[in-house]
Structure 1
Amino acid sequence: MKKSGFKAILLLALVFLFYSCDGFIPDPINPRLPVYSESGKNQSGAMINNMPFVDYPNYSIFGTESSGYLLNQADTSLTFNFHLVERNKENAFVTIFFSLEKLTQTDWEEMENGFGKKFSLDNPDVIGKIITYSEQEDLGTPAESGQITVKYIPGTNALAGTFGFTAMNNSGKKYEVRFGRFDYIFQRD
């Protein structure tokens, strides 16, 4: 009798566990970063050298507040630009930039399926960089290695995904961008 009671409790716990999961979250939960989502929340964030960087809204050319943008050019290229600020400092700004070139219809189909499509920064058609700002200059540092995963959600007109890479500038400063995530409204042409 005790064995069947234990099995029933175990079965009930497993059923509860499976029904409580909303879906796959492709990155660890970190309360210092925006929660990964796929609903067009217009947000992004990343850990840069183990410090949390989150959206930093600034004004676009249209006079609206924006923390980033996605640009689609005839379905063959995508440009991502995320403006981030270190969560605990006022003047630590960076921009994370990605450019995906020579996209095909197959790429778009793969972005709609499953967890999206993974693009390696080792591919010459995929560019990633971190842009840092100082009083002297704005410095763009190309990514050495890493990836960006992009998921297109047609029902919500959103592009969401994750990213991570390493980069080293000319003076030898290393940047480790980890646990990056984004979720933006996107209108595909």
Structure 2
Amino acid sequence: MKKIFLLFAVAILMIACNKDDEAPQPTPEPTEIEKLPPATQTGANKVGCLLNGKAFLPSGTNPTGGNPNPYCAYYHDNFVLAFSIVKNENNTSMLGSETIALYNSDIILEEGRTYLLKVSASNHSAVYTHYNNIVNPDSYETTENHTGELHITKLDKEKNIISGTFWFDAVNEQGKKVEIRDGRFDMVFEGWAGKV
């Protein structure tokens, strides 16, 4: 009798263990890098990066009614990529918003090349701006000592698609630094991309 009872107890224990294995597990939160868009080359109009280790993705619309968010333009030898997290869409103020922008001018971009982002006087720079004050926003810029890179992985001048990766370090006037890492973009650009 004891053997039957023992076998019955073991069977119930095995069934209970199997039910625990089948219980739904909570979905883990994505990591910050998993929140970024994939590095595609199709003109998906996606861009994102890590700002001091946190995902930075465009959200909201430009409250001043200007360019779309995100915005990408390439006119012959002038390239700009800008995207923002807009915090205050109910008025025309950028207060609380944050923007990242990359600029490259006086050079015709080429697929497969990497371009240095440094001091703005070089015409190849990057900026992070936090509009904590509309009159005097907190602006972080690349410099001779705090640089970055823009790498073009695809440039289709017929379909106006530009894709690539970027990273940079930038500082404000007080010397405080921000780190932009794992940037990727896949954009349909406004412009005419070096076509003469």
Deviation string, structure 1 residues 75-104 (Cα, Å, up to 9, x no partner): 021122121479xxxx96421112111124
Which structure has the larger Rg? 2
Q: Does 1:139 align with 2:133?
A: no
Describe how 1:16-95 pairs up with structure 2 within 5 A. Answer: 30-59=33-62, 66-73=68-75, 75-84=76-85, 93-95=97-99
- The alignment partner of 2:80 has SS state of strand
Q: CA RMSD in A?
A: 2.8
Distance 1:50 1:63, change over 3 A: closer
What CA distance in whole angstroms lies between the structure 2 residues aligned with 1:156 and 1:60?
29
Q: How many residues align?
A: 147
Higher strand share: 1
Does the CA contact (< 8 Å) of 2:140 and 2:177 recur in 1? no
Flag structure 2 segments of 5+ consecutive residues without an equivalent. Answer: 1-31, 88-94
Give the aligned partner of residue 165 of structure 2: 162
2:149 is the alignment partner of 1:153:
no
Q: 1:102 is matched with which residue: 87, 106, 110?
A: 106
What code does the residue aligned with 1:130 have? Y
Contact 1:76 1:101 in 2 (8 A): yes
SS at structure 2 position matched to 1:31: helix
The one-letter amino acid of 1:121's match is L
- The TM-score, its normalising length taken from structure 2, stands at 0.64
With the length of structure 1 as denominator, give the TM-score of the two structures: 0.66
Structure 1 Cα separation of the partners of residues 96 and 47 of structure 2:
16
Aligned counterparts of 1:188 and 1:62: Cα–Cα separation in 2 = 19
